[in-house]
Amino acid sequence: MSDDLDALADDLAEFDIEKKPVARSAVEERIIAGFEDIQRFVDTAGHPPRHGADYDIFERLYAVRLERLAANVEYRALLEEMDRQGILCGAAPAGAEDDDDIDLDALASDLEDLEDAAHDITDLRHVRPVAEKRAAEEVANREACADFDKFKPLFEQVQAELDAGVRATRPFELKAEIQVGSMFIVSGQKAYVAEMGEVYLNAQSRTDARLRVIFDNGTESNLLMRSLQRALHKDDASRRITDPNAGPLFSDATVDGDEASGIIYVLRSKSDLPVVAHNRDLLHKIGVTGGSVKTRISTAKLDPTFLMADVEIVTTYELYNINRVKLENLLHRIFEAARLDIEIKDRFGHPVTPREWFLVPLFAIDEAVERIRDGTIKGVAYDPSTASLK
């Protein structure tokens, strides 16, 4: 009986209608081909394509394509049968990528890396990850600053003012803080915004401008304002350097609620050392103390800081609500060019180099104190050739 049934089946098979492939429109063929590209990516990478500036251009394009296909009801119905990886179900909603993560300039630059447009879209050999490319561009865009001699004194002055407390560092917060004359610390280097081009709206309708940024290592870069902003936000150690603002550091009279901080003193030495005797009226010790000046100088002839000799008090200025150490550093920075270079021996015969004696007239010290008081000390230093502040 079974032999008869097999024979019947063979006979009927001759009358079977051959299954014909389903006809697809050109649009459907492109949709399927595009989805197969995504599937091949998933097979190779082991995960669905992702958004984000740190991923290469094609992975980001695949991510956008996948979310568009998943969001379209007709396309999804067409592809679900062939979705062996279940990636349509896990696709993010269309438009999920944040505009801040999309840098159109970076995308266009990445596309320029394709050596042959005929390469298959899945061939990523000629495309670098965005993070790698940006790092390379940042290095490539740095070049030696031809006129760094003009900026070097500025960086030195800023460091001195940071040490003296005239400037401070604050966390970077807003793009509005990036202006001509602004200074930042990024990637461990001081960065000075020397020039800014015309402000314009970029492809994301956000303001941007081309900058000339000078770095304290003698290099410069013509980067975009948003690129500097991104670098400052990315670096956890980045800081904004404030403008100098000495303010009213002290006054001749106290105000209710003021707390005494100390006294600036200006002394003259009675030493018989030739360099002292020859410059008696010009050589002054400038210091700050939190106690009595008379107590401070009572053992001067035993102290190498006082040139192992008695001293006389020339003048004093009382301080209120300020940092004594930072103010003293500021005064010493102003008169650095006139600092006395001398080495003497203490009472035990050990060599000592006093650092608080300056060959500077008293009127120049008075002017420096007044400039600190009214906040006009910014960028000022003593010039020994003219015996004046400049």
HEC string for 142-165? CEECCCHHHHHHHHHHHHHHHHHC
Same domain assignment for residues 379 and 297:
yes
Mean pLDDT of the 45-74 span:
82
pLDDT band at 21 (very low <50, low <70, confident <90, very high): low
Same domain assignment for residues 303 and 217:
no
Asked if the structure places residue 301 within a domain, the reply is: yes
Write down the pLDDT at residue 61.
Answer: 82
Same domain assignment for residues 187 and 276:
no
Answer yes or no: is pLDDT of 3 > 90: no
Q: In 3D, which of 143, 151, 120, 134 has the Cα closest to residue 41?
A: 120
Of the chain, the percentage scoring pLDDT greater than 90 comes to 29
Identify the DSSP state of 92.
P
Identify the DSSP state of 224.
B
Asked if the structure places residue 122 within a domain, the reply is: yes
Asked if the structure places residue 67 within a domain, the reply is: yes
Question: How many structural domains compose the chain?
Answer: 3
Same domain assignment for residues 268 and 148:
no
pLDDT band at 216 (very low <50, low <70, confident <90, very high): very high
Answer yes or no: is pLDDT of 272 > 90: yes
Same domain assignment for residues 116 and 61:
yes
Answer yes or no: is pLDDT of 258 > 70: no
Answer yes or no: is pLDDT of 135 > 50: no
Answer yes or no: is pLDDT of 140 > 50: no
Mean pLDDT of the 30-34 span:
85
Per the prediction, the chain carries an average pLDDT of 78
Other beta carbons within 10 angstroms of residue 257's beta carbon come to 7
Same domain assignment for residues 131 and 37:
yes
Write down the pLDDT at residue 108.
Answer: 39
Write down the pLDDT at residue 307.
Answer: 94
More confident residue, 135 or 1: 1
Is the distance from CB of 98 to CB of 44 less than 8 angstroms? no
Asked if the structure places residue 220 within a domain, the reply is: yes
Same domain assignment for residues 370 and 339:
yes
Same domain assignment for residues 113 and 66:
yes
Answer yes or no: is pLDDT of 334 > 80: yes
Answer yes or no: is pLDDT of 362 > 50: yes
Write down the pLDDT at residue 6.
Answer: 59
Mean pLDDT of the 26-41 span:
85
pLDDT band at 371 (very low <50, low <70, confident <90, very high): confident
Write down the pLDDT at residue 369.
Answer: 86
Write down the pLDDT at residue 256.
Answer: 52
Mean pLDDT of the 96-114 span:
40
Asked if the structure places residue 248 within a domain, the reply is: no
pLDDT band at 129 (very low <50, low <70, confident <90, very high): low
Answer yes or no: is pLDDT of 353 > 50: yes
Write down the pLDDT at residue 163.
Answer: 79
Lowest-confidence segment of 81-95, 150-164, 187-201 by average pLDDT: 81-95
249 φ, ψ to 5°? -70, -30
Domain that holds residue 187: 142-241
Mean pLDDT of the 345-374 span:
89
> Angle between the 104-111 and 130-141 helix axes, to the nearest 10 degrees?
90
Domain boundary among 135, 156, 188: 135
Other beta carbons within 10 angstroms of residue 89's beta carbon come to 10
Answer yes or no: is pLDDT of 121 > 50: no
CA-CA distances (angstroms) from residue 65 to 99, 259, 343?
16, 67, 76
pTM over 0.75: no
Same domain assignment for residues 267 and 209:
no
Answer yes or no: is pLDDT of 224 > 80: yes
Same domain assignment for residues 102 and 193:
no
State how far Cα 361 lies from the chain centre. 41
Answer yes or no: is pLDDT of 386 > 60: yes
Same domain assignment for residues 85 and 47:
yes
Write down the pLDDT at residue 116.
Answer: 37
Answer yes or no: is pLDDT of 200 > 70: yes
More confident residue, 256 or 376: 376
What sign for the dihedral angle of Cα 267, 330, 374, 296?
negative
Asked if the structure places residue 8 within a domain, the reply is: no
Identify the DSSP state of 336.
G
Token pair for residue 383? 């010039």
Answer yes or no: is pLDDT of 109 > 70: no
Write down the pLDDT at residue 111.
Answer: 37
Q: Whose structure tokens read 């940071």?
A: 162
More confident residue, 105 or 84: 84
Same domain assignment for residues 265 and 344:
yes
Is the distance from CB of 285 to CB of 267 less than 8 angstroms? yes
Asked if the structure places residue 13 within a domain, the reply is: no
Of the chain, the percentage scoring pLDDT greater than 70 comes to 75
Asked if the structure places residue 1 within a domain, the reply is: no
